[in-house]
Amino acid sequence: MITYFDYKGKWKQPNSSISFYGTLNFNPENGATLELHGSITENFFKTSIIEIIIGETIEGNITLIDCYPEKIMEASSEVIICTYKPSYIIEGYQFTSKNDISFRNVTFCVLNLFQWLDISGSKKSYFNKTGEISFSYTKPQSIYFEIDEILKGNISFDYQVKGDKIDNKIEFQEQCYVNLNYKCKESLFKIIEDINCFIGFLSLVTYEQSYPISINFQDEDYNHIFSVNPPFKFLNKSIKCFYANSLYHTNRKYIYTNEQLVKYEHIQNIFPIILKNWFEKYSTLEPVFNLLLYTIRNKNKFGVENFMDISRALETFHRRTEVLTEKPNHEYENLVAKILSHDKLDKKELNWLKEKLQYGNEPSLKKRIIGLISKYSNNFTNNKIVFDSKFIQKVVDTRNYYTHFDIKNERKYLKDKELFIASQKLMVLLISCILKDIGLQAHHFESGLNEIFRRVLK
């Protein structure tokens, strides 16, 4: 996916006999653009979305999914240029319907996975006196995991060797890949969800952005004949996928071992369990994870939105993991019913009161933060961060000010350096909450918190 290309060819809708010449462009930051000589639909302006466009190019067959008309330009009296924005590119096969796009296996390469695992099969020896250099490679064992009865996977290792006779050089590169294997065929969109789920886990434990570098699907239903004469041999056809990933950033960074939040070597014995827990909790805590991951992606920038995102993430995490109310639910419901039964209230007043009382039994942000500190504190938070009542009240006042911009809170809210430091403290709390919730113990990540945050929290 981290590639740039232009594919020229003929494009049409499935079951249509009319094709249009055009060029498909892709770059990982802006996604795909299809420029055609003509409108693929009868009325460009009345078309909201085209589910499937298929193409024939020199590079192979293409399927474009969910194509949005973008702009139209009349180059001359007879030539019309229409531009579309496909959401996904499938290279290697032409599908006629979104419902048909499903696979049993996917292999993808992820930025920073090899750096996080820190597992190498190469051995190098140098003998300066004799001028001898010795090099050997033994393929590391795959790492297996099981998410549920339907989805199993592994991380496999491989290498590439490139030689250049003219420049007299040899390049050796180790790589690793994630392989997800489904019991039954899964839709493209479910598989991409699982890929993003895995990548989210990697971004958290490395505390660095990550995204898919390449995605390849395999399925026996799309095999092609490898041999010319009978008996025929079939080879798994690798089908590539490209799309713009919101976590991609041009200033990508490879993470070093000492910069990681959680080192793989510290959790390798429980890694399959932790990954399974992450997948199981992902659907429930997805809003929390997304807010955290976008903060990690933009960690070198800071603004009010960073503070607000972390505050929302903490509030949502508490709401979705703790059953806590101001009063027992049955007692609160009886109280609300008693209040609403007041015979002097008209319909408009009743509706207004119902709206105000709808969330009246939920704990305040202050109580939520206090509860999270009590449950998820660790040696780093206890020794390096002061979560006293004064700080918590400042956080609440600041959140309220930037939500409502109430002039009454104008003197109470945090700003500039104080706001940044408060955000970092809340980030440490949020990370501690999530890591402990998926099964890690404090000793697995306390040293990582210290390495990443100690300088800004002095």
**Closest to 406 in 3D by CA, of 416, 396, 391:** 396
Cβ pair 269, 56 in contact under 8 A:
no
Given 99, 134, 167, the domain boundary residue is: 99
Q: Where are the alpha helices (DSSP H) in 303-441?
A: 304-321, 329-340, 347-357, 365-376, 379-384, 389-404, 416-437
- For residue 420, being part of any structural domain is answered with yes
Quick one: pLDDT at residue 243? 94
Given 224, 251, 281, the domain boundary residue is: 281
The whole-model pTM stands at 0.87
Quick one: pLDDT at residue 227? 47
Quick one: pLDDT at residue 233? 52
Contacts by 283-287 with C-beta closer than 8 Å and gap 24+? 284/320, 285/316, 285/317, 285/320, 285/321, 285/434, 285/437, 287/313, 287/316
User: How many other CB atoms are there within 10 angstroms of residue 241's CB atom?
Assistant: 25
Cβ pair 188, 95 in contact under 8 A:
no
d(CA 429, CA 411): 26
Quick one: pLDDT at residue 47? 80
Query: What tens digit of pLDDT does each residue of 433-449 get?
Result: 999 999 999 999 999 99
d(CA 94, CA 54): 6
126: Cα within 13 Å, side-chain hemisphere: 1
Indicate left, alpha or beta for 60 from its phi (over 0: left) and psi (-120 to 50: alpha). left
Domain extent for 276: 101-281
Q: Record the tokens describing residue 84, joined without a space.
A: 């579309």
Cβ pair 84, 66 in contact under 8 A:
no
Cα angle for residues 400, 406, 412 (degrees, 5° grid): 65
Query: What tens digit of pLDDT does each residue of 217-245 get?
Result: 999 888 654 545 555 455 567 899 999 88
Given 47, 80, 99, the domain boundary residue is: 99
Cα angle for residues 161, 163, 166 (degrees, 5° grid): 170
Q: Which residues of the chain have pLDDT under 50?
A: 225, 227, 232
Structural domains counted in the chain: 3
Quick one: pLDDT at residue 340? 65
Residues 185, 94, single domain; the answer is no
Quick one: pLDDT at residue 91? 95
Residues 268, 341, single domain; the answer is no
- For residue 458, being part of any structural domain is answered with no
Residues 134, 265, single domain; the answer is yes
**Closest to 173 in 3D by CA, of 128, 220, 226, 109:** 109
- For residue 342, being part of any structural domain is answered with yes
